[in-house]
Chain A
C-alpha cells in the first residue's frame, strides 16, 4: 500500500514538473534576439577579457583536476579490491535473500535504526551527512535521466531548474547541519569511547568546506544577479546573496576562483575516499545487507 502511494506521488510530481516546465519555459534569448552571453557579459563580468579567460580556463582546469582525481580514486579502489579479493571463502551462507536485503538497506542503511536507538545526535550527524550526499546524488542523477529521457532541462531557466535548485539547497543544508553537529559531537561533547584521528578531522573539514563553498558560490551568484522571485528556490544561497550584495565587491571574479577551489576540494575528497575511513560508505551497506541475508537464511533453515 505504501509503495503504491509513493509511486503515485512520484508520478504526480513528474507530471507537475512537465506542466510547470512547459509554462515557465520561454526562449528569452529568441525574444530579444541576442544570445545569453551578450547580456550577461555586459552586466555581470568585469570586461570581455575576464569572461574569455574564464570561459577558456574554467573547464580545462576542471577536467584536468577531474582526470587526476579519478586516476587516484581508481588506483585506490584497485588496491582496495585487490585486498577484498584475497578472501576465497563464500561470502554468504546461502543464496542472497533479496527481501531482507532491501528491508535492511531501508531500515539499517538509510534510516540507521540501530544508531537512533543509542544516540539521536549521532544519528543526526549520520543522516545529515550520509543521506544528504546520497539524496543529492540521486536527485542529480534523476534530473540527468529526465533530461535525456524526456528533454526536461535543468540547466536553462525552467521549472525543472528551480526544482533542482530547491533540492540541491535542501540536501546541501542537510549536509551542513550534519557536519556542524559532527564538529560539536567530536570536539565539544566528545564521549569517552570516541577517538579523534587525523583522518576524522580531515574528513569533517573536507565536507564542511565543500558544502560551505557550494553555498558561497550560490551567494556570489545571487549577489551579482538582479533580484527575482525564483531565487527563493535556492533558499540558503539567496539569503547569503542578500547579505553579500550591499558589499559591492567583484563577486564574479571571486566566483571564478572559488568555483575552482570548490571543484578542487570536491575532487580531492573523491580521490581521498579509498585511502580513508570514508570507504565505509561502500563497505557498510555491503556488511549490513550480507548480515541480513545470512540471518534470513539461518531463520528459514531453522529445524
Chain B
C-alpha cells in the first residue's frame, strides 16, 4: 500500500470514527422546512432547470433526490418507525449507512445555491434555505464540508476572509488603485472618520456553523460604527448581510447594492454620466442579487442610464437566468462542474452578439471568466461599475 493510500485510509477511518452511529441533529431547521420535504412531489420540474444536473445528469444532485433521501435519513433515525424501534424492526426499517450519509453530503455540496429550483417548484419549497440548513446539520455530524472546501473555513477563521489572505492586505487594493491613479484617494477608515455611507468591500461566509461568530462579530462592529447605509458590490455579501444577518441580530443600517446606490447618485444629480460608452452588452443576473433579493430592474435601469450602451438580453434572464456556477461552495468543491456551467452561460451570452458580458458581482465575474477562458471566447467580462466609470466625465466624482 502506498503512502498516499495509507493517508486516504487514515482519513477515511478518522471520518468514520467521528461520524459512526451519529444522529443527524436538525434543531437548526424549522418545522416548516421539514414539512417542505414532504411537500416535494418529485414532479421533476427542478430537474429540468438545475444547472448542476444539466452538466453531469446525476439524479443524486437533483433537489427531488435530496428531499427524498433526507426524509429517508430522518425517518430511519427518528419517529415511531426509526430503525431501532419496535415498529421499525417490525417493518424491517433499514439503518442509513455512513456511506449513504457521506454520499448524501457530497451531493448536498454539489449545488451552487442559485435558487432556480425554488422558482420552478410548484410547492414553492424554499430550497436553498433548506439545503443550507441541512448542510449545517451535516457539518455538526462530521460529514461536511468537503475536504476541498475545508481551507475556506480555516481561512475565514484565521484571516476573516475565505481567500487565505492576511488581514493587513484587506486595503491593499485601494493602495494599488491609488498608485495606478484609478482612484484619487484611498477610502477613509470609518472607525476614524464618521460617515453616513459605508462601502463594504469584502465578503465572509455566514451560515456555516464554524463561521457564524464572524457574522455576529461583523454585525456588532457595523452597528457600532453609526453609519446609515452600507453598500456592497458583491451579490453574495449583499444577500448574506441583507437576508441572513437579520436572522442573527437586528441591523440598524440600510443595506444597498452598489447598483442601487449609483442610481440614487445619478438621479439626485450627484453623479453625471456624460461620456458615451458605445458598447453592445449583455447582462448576467447574479443569483444572489436576482433570485435571492429580487433585484432585476435596478441593474438594467443603470445600464439604460449610461449613454451609448445597447443592452441585448440573453435567452434566459431574471428569475430564469442561468447560474455561473460559482456560488454555494461549488467552485471550490467541484471546479470541473463549475467550469461546464460557466461555459453554458458564456455560449448563451455569445449568442446575443454582444461584445461585453456585464454582471454586478465579483464572484460571478470570476466564475464567468472561467468559461470565457475555457472557450477562448471573444467576450470581455466587465463589472457594471466599470461601465459607470467609463461614462463619468471626471473621475474625481467617484
Contact = CB atoms under 8 A, between A and B. Distances in A.
A, B bound = yes
Contacts of A184: none
Interface residues on A, range: 35 or more
B79 interface: yes
A91 B30 contact: yes
B35 interface: yes
Given A86-B74, A87-B30, A298 B243 contact: yes
B261 interface: no
Contact of A79 (B30, B48, B79, B126): B79
Contacts of B71: 83
Contacts of B33: 87, 89, 91
Interface string B299-330: 00000000000000000000000000000000
B48 A84 contact: no
Contacts of B126: 287, 290-291, 294
Contacts of B31: 84-87, 91
A87 B26 contact: yes
Interface residues on B, range: 35 or more
A33 interface: no
A79 B81 CA distance: 7
A83 B34 contact: yes
B27 to A, nearest CB: 4
B172 interface: no
B39 A86 contact: no
B124 A86 contact: no
B28 A89 contact: yes
18 contacts: A79-B75, A83-B78, A84-B31, A84-B38, A85-B31, A86-B31, A87-B31, A93-B247, A195-B44, A277-B42, A280-B39, A283-B35, A283-B37, A287-B32, A290-B32, A292-B124, A298-B243, A303-B254
Interface of B: 26-45, 47-48, 71, 74-75, 78-81, 120, 122-126, 133, 243, 247, 254-256
Given A84-B38, A88-B30, 19 more contacts: A75-B80, A79-B75, A80-B38, A83-B78, A86-B31, A87-B30, A90-B30, A92-B32, A114-B122, A280-B39, A280-B41, A283-B38, A283-B123, A284-B41, A286-B39, A287-B123, A288-B124, A291-B124, A303-B254
